[in-house]
A = this chain, B = another copy of it.
Amino acid sequence: MAQKASKLVIVTEKVLLKKVAKIIEDAGATGYTVVPAGGKGSRGVRSSGQPTVSDAFSNVKFEVLTPNRDMAVKISDEVAAQFFDDYSGIAYICDVMEVLHAHTF
């Protein structure tokens, strides 16, 4: 049952939620997880100022399990090309991963 996979993580602004989700789906990924997020990047503080309890989570973090690195890179390249000139964002891969149980693989 165990399978190797790559985990692609994308953190970006919440306004891009649906557009990034569409890119992930169009790339053929069978599922993803979205988590509310705040933070700070080199474009200055992400979300509204120093993170606070009430308004810190105006970003989103996507996690996508992909069957191989190529799909992860394809999604990341597309998201970066479309949005990262104008919006805050970061994309990275965790390589070591073992999928134990899933409906989504």
Interface residues of A (CB under 8 A from B): 5, 7, 11, 14, 17-18, 21, 25, 30-43, 46, 50-53, 56-57, 59, 61, 65, 72-73, 76-77, 79-80, 84, 88-105
Number of copies: 3
Determine if A103 and B84 form an interchain contact, defined as CB atoms under 8 angstroms apart.
Answer: yes
Complex: A79 Cα to B103 Cα, angstroms: 13
- In the complex, chain B residues whose CB is within 8 Å of the CB of A53: 14, 17
Minimal Cβ-Cβ distance residue in B for A76: B100
Could you say which of B17, B37, B101 contacts A91, with CB atoms under 8 Å apart?
Answer: B101
- In the complex, chain B residues whose CB is within 8 Å of the CB of A31: 39-42, 46, 90
Determine if B32 and A35 form an interchain contact, defined as CB atoms under 8 angstroms apart.
Answer: no
Known pairs A93-B100, A94-B96, A104-B90; A33 contacts B11 (CB<8 A): yes
Q: Would you list 18 pairs from A and B whose C-beta atoms are within 8 A, ordered by A residue?
A: A7-B92, A11-B33, A18-B50, A25-B40, A30-B42, A31-B46, A32-B39, A33-B39, A34-B51, A34-B57, A35-B57, A41-B103, A41-B104, A73-B100, A79-B101, A91-B99, A94-B97, A95-B96
